Structure 1
Amino acid sequence: MKYKISELATVLNVTTNTIRRYEKMGYIKSKRTQNSNYRYYNEDDLSTFMNVRLLRKYGFTHTEIGNMKNSDMAGLISEYERQMKKFDEQINYLTNLRRRLKDDLILMKKAEGIKQLCYIRECVDLSYVIYQRRDEILTEPQRITAIQDHLYLSPEVLRVYLIRKADVENDRPILNAGVAIKTAHVDRYNIKQNEYTERYEKRKSLISFAKLPVNGEKNVKEALLKEPFKYMQEHNLKMNGDIIGIVIANVIEDQQEMQYVLVGVPIVEMQPLDYLL
């Protein structure tokens, strides 16, 4: 059966420009009638066009499809297996990305209520890199490399704040901003570690929610530490390591951009000797 270009476009539900483009790329080839010199296509062209569209749906590039035209069965199987592996990697990445999205959603719903100011649970084991100390942006080349790896290679990247235990004890708590991922993802996504990569180990923590202005002065003691430290005093607990804050979301409240932060303070129970120190 012969198809005019308009008829082939109608059957395939594409434009005539698409037909011409596929012909220019060498997938199909029109013939000319002897009498009218009209361009026409046959059943083989229709079948070839459909096959190319299917392969494009599978994610193959035009270059790959062009190479596959000359493949035998073994070569075709190899290409399909390679594409399957790519899909599996994408599915795994999206599954983890969805998990991170779900975690954010759960935390946002908790933060929206903020009915229970503090509760105790184990924190997540994290690998993190600091990029800002107070108002200073840290730009060492190896640090930047580590930041980019954490930020772009893992689907579950977190924005975090670190408050060093020593700074709190010296009554000078400083916010250190960074990015973090679950430690389990370091090997999973082949993320290289260097001297600027730090580890936040899983430990018993006092969890609370807080809000910080995105711009302007951030009162660390009042906004982040007031409620957890009050709870610790009331329940005979003490700080047992650096404090971590995980940024949940940026929102607009009263015409000001605010960050909701999940604060984790590592804790242990105070022993009788602690009261004497």
Structure 2
Amino acid sequence: MKYTIGELAKKAKLSADTIRFYEKKALIDPAQRADNNYRYYGENSLSQLIFIRHCRELGMSLKEIQALHEQLKHPTDGCAPVNELIANHLNHVNQTIDQLLRFKQQLEHLKQLCDHDETVQNCKIIQSLHAPDSSDDIIDLRLNIH
């Protein structure tokens, strides 16, 4: 079956712009041009896009998806590199969860500083966020998610 980009977008649950992006990154088969100059995609493109969407739903980066895509070109090879990539991604997810839990604690601490009767200029939350980095009371709110 052949799909126009609009039909493919609907079936893959992605935007046409996203499909063009993945096509430029060579993650899906290139479209075939018909006599009417429409771009048509096959079932393999749909399968590739569903694969990519599932990877993205798991928070995988484009680099990780490209690495998995490269593995697909060698179907008879062992899957150890795939397992390693997933293990590394899982490690990254666990680090992100730990970091988000720290942020949650820090935000809860900031929220407890609030005295609703204070003015903004005397707000303990604002003062804490303005504290220099060298302060022991500083709340580190930097997000280092890759």
- Per the normalisation by structure 2, the TM-score is 0.67
Q: Distance in 2 between matches of 1:69 and 1:12?
A: 17
Q: Trace 1:214-253 onto structure 2 (pairs within 5 A).
A: none
**Alpha-carbon deviation of 1:12?**
2.8
* Residue number in structure 2 paired with 1:46: 46
In 1, are the aligned partners of 2:5 and 2:16 still within 8 Å (CA)? yes
Which 4+ stretches in 1 moved above 3 angstroms? Answer: 35-38, 111-114, 158-161
Which of 97, 100, 107 pairs up with 2:106? 100
State which structure, 1 or 2, has the greater radius of gyration over its C-alpha atoms.
1
* Residue number in structure 2 paired with 1:81: 87
Counterpart residue identity of residue 11, structure 2? V
Q: Distance in 2 between matches of 1:79 and 1:38?
A: 37
* Residue number in structure 2 paired with 1:12: 12
* Residue number in structure 2 paired with 1:30: 31
Which deviations, in whole Å up to 9, do the C-alpha atoms of 1:235-270 show, x marking residues without a partner?
xxxxxxxxxxxxxxxxxxxxxxxxxxxxxxxxxxxx
Q: Distance in 1 between matches of 2:17 and 2:40?
A: 15
Q: Distance in 1 between matches of 2:133 and 2:4?
A: 64
**Alpha-carbon deviation of 1:159?**
6.3
Q: Distance in 1 between matches of 2:11 and 2:133?
A: 57
- Classify the secondary structure of the residue corresponding to 1:2: coil
- Classify the secondary structure of the residue corresponding to 2:135: strand
* Residue number in structure 2 paired with 1:59: 59
* Residue number in structure 2 paired with 1:180: 136
**Alpha-carbon deviation of 1:26?**
0.5
Q: How many residues align?
A: 122
Q: Unaligned 5+ residue runs, structure 1? A: 115-157, 162-175, 183-277
Counterpart residue identity of residue 102, structure 1? E
In 2, are the aligned partners of 1:9 and 1:15 still within 8 Å (CA)? yes
**Alpha-carbon deviation of 1:180?**
2.0
What is the RMSD computed on CA atoms of the aligned residues?
3.0
Distance 1:112 1:31, change over 3 A: closer
**Alpha-carbon deviation of 1:63?**
2.3
* Residue number in structure 2 paired with 1:70: 70
- Classify the secondary structure of the residue corresponding to 1:14: coil
**Alpha-carbon deviation of 1:81?**
0.8
> If each structure's helix is expressed as a fraction of its own residues, which one has the higher value?
2
Q: Distance in 2 between matches of 1:52 and 1:64?
A: 10
- Classify the secondary structure of the residue corresponding to 2:70: coil
Q: Distance in 1 between matches of 2:136 and 2:110?
A: 14
Percent identity, aligned pairs only, is 27
